[in-house]
């Protein structure tokens, strides 16, 4: 992206923010009638979080297609709309449907909504959810992982969300992300998990970010495990980086929707070869398991949001 492109992006960001502020004023009655404190990005099968918004305080949905500069998603399990509302007495905005690089979107397009919402002036926290594959064998299907770090293979090989001229008015050229996942928010998540008496296990771990859209090969999965990754997915990290560039706090929660195959394939000389299809991942499984655990994710995040 050139300097001219950055200027055009900044103009588009401001146009989109002005559009949202106009819609907020129309819906809630004044410029300061609704001031969202947090953005919640809903991962695959987890958009039911919107059911936790107060019906009495008039949620407002805006399709991405109506917002200047917003792209629409194409993946099953992701709708394409912003939803403004109040959750547990806290004004929030939900992204029901995220954008992915593998859909053909540039990273500045997938993270565009974060910069737009930053322009509203009140959003200071990102709560990001995702469906991911389990690498750590101590973490089972349909369990939860609070992210405390990440490994981004695309980012380490030149496809970082901040590549190109810097958005100077948002953050520094060289951004430290060793503190990307806020300690206080992680502690709050575990506290609320305990208070709710939730049977579904909550772990802490490292997320491996890959570009997709193919699921990882067996050898790639063993490689990621050797690097210290506990789960793997195709999103989240670009959003986290841009949110941190904006100075937001970040909480990230992964739902393990499938256990990744790690064992090497059977040798052609094996007398009793194992099936290559055993444990094979598919998107329908991701969505099914997302639905199984969605109620717990919704309850947990509702409690966290109430204490921001």
Give the residue ranges of the annotated binding site. Answer: 44, 78, 98-100, 131, 216, 235, 258
Binding residue numbers for phosphate: 44, 78, 98-100, 131, 235
Catalytic annotation present for 102: yes
- In the set 44, 47, 130, 136, the catalytic residue is 44
- How many CB atoms lie under 10 A from the CB of residue 254? 27
58, burial (CB in 10 Å: exposed 0-12, middle 13-18, buried 19+): middle
Interaxial angle between packed helices 183-195 and 283-305, expressed in degrees from 0 to 180 and rounded to the nearest 10: 90
Catalytic annotation present for 283: yes
Binding residue numbers for a purine D-ribonucleoside: 216, 258
CB burial of 40-49 (b: ≥16 within 10 Å; e: otherwise) equals bbbbbbbbeb
- In the set 27, 28, 60, 102, the catalytic residue is 102
Give dist(CA 181, CA 248) in Å, integer.
10
- In the set 80, 152, 221, 258, the catalytic residue is 258
User: Do 9 and 116 contact (CB within 8 A), yes or no?
Assistant: no
DSSP string for 206-231: EEEE---SSPPPHHHHHHHHHTT-SE
- In the set 221, 235, 254, 289, the catalytic residue is 235
Partnered with residue 92 across adjacent β-strands are: 38, 85
Catalytic annotation present for 170: no
- In the set 17, 47, 78, 221, the catalytic residue is 78
Catalytic annotation present for 234: yes
Q: State the DSSP code for 185.
A: H
User: Do 265 and 53 contact (CB within 8 A), yes or no?
Assistant: no
- CA distances in angstroms from 42 to 47, 93, 128, 294, listed in the order given: 5, 11, 7, 10
- How many CB atoms lie under 10 A from the CB of residue 11? 12
- In the set 17, 87, 95, 131, the catalytic residue is 131
- In the set 100, 150, 209, 245, the catalytic residue is 100
Catalytic annotation present for 17: no
Catalytic annotation present for 258: yes
- In the set 1, 15, 72, 103, the catalytic residue is 103
- CA distances in angstroms from 183 to 149, 179, 188, 252, listed in the order given: 11, 8, 9, 11
- In the set 17, 229, 234, 252, the catalytic residue is 234
Strands 202-209 and 81-87, sheet pairing? unpaired
What positions carry a catalytic annotation? Answer: 44, 78, 100, 102-103, 131, 234-235, 258, 283
């Amino acid at each position: 992206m050139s300097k001219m492109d950055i200027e055009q992006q900044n103009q588009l960001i401001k146009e989109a923010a002005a559009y949202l502020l106009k819609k907020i004023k129309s819906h809630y009655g004044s410029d300061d009638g609704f001031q969202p404190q947090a953005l919640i990005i809903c991962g695959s099968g987890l958009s039911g979080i919107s059911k936790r918004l107060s019906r009495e305080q008039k949620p407002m949905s805006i399709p991405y297609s109506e917002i200047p500069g917003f792209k629409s998603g194409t993946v099953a399990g992701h709708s394409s709309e912003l939803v403004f509302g109040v959750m547990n007495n806290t004004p929030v905005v939900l992204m029901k449907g995220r954008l992915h690089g593998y859909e053909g979107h540039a990273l500045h397009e997938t993270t565009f909504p974060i910069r737009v919402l930053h322009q509203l002036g009140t959003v200071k926290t990102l709560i990001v959810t995702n469906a991911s594959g389990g690498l750590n064998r101590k973490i089972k299907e349909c369990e939860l992982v609070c992210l405390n770090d990440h490994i981004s293979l695309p980012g380490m090989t030149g496809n970082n969300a901040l590549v190109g001229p810097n958005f100077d008015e948002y953050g520094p050229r060289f951004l430290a992300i060793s503190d990307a996942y806020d300690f206080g928010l992680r502690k709050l998540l575990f506290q609320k998990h305990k208070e709710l008496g939730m049977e579904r296990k909550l772990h802490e771990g490292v997320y491996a970010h890959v570009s997709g859209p193919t699921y990882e090969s067996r050898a790639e999965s063993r490689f990621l495990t050797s690097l210290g990754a506990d789960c793997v997915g195709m999103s989240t990290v670009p959003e986290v980086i841009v949110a941190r560039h904006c100075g937001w706090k970040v909480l990230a929660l992964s739902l393990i929707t499938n256990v990744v195959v790690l064992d090497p394939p059977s040798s052609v000389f094996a007398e009793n070869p194992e099936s290559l299809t055993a444990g094979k991942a598919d998107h329908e499984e991701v969505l099914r398991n997302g639905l199984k655990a969605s109620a717990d994710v919704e309850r947990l995040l509702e409690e966290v949001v109430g204490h921001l």
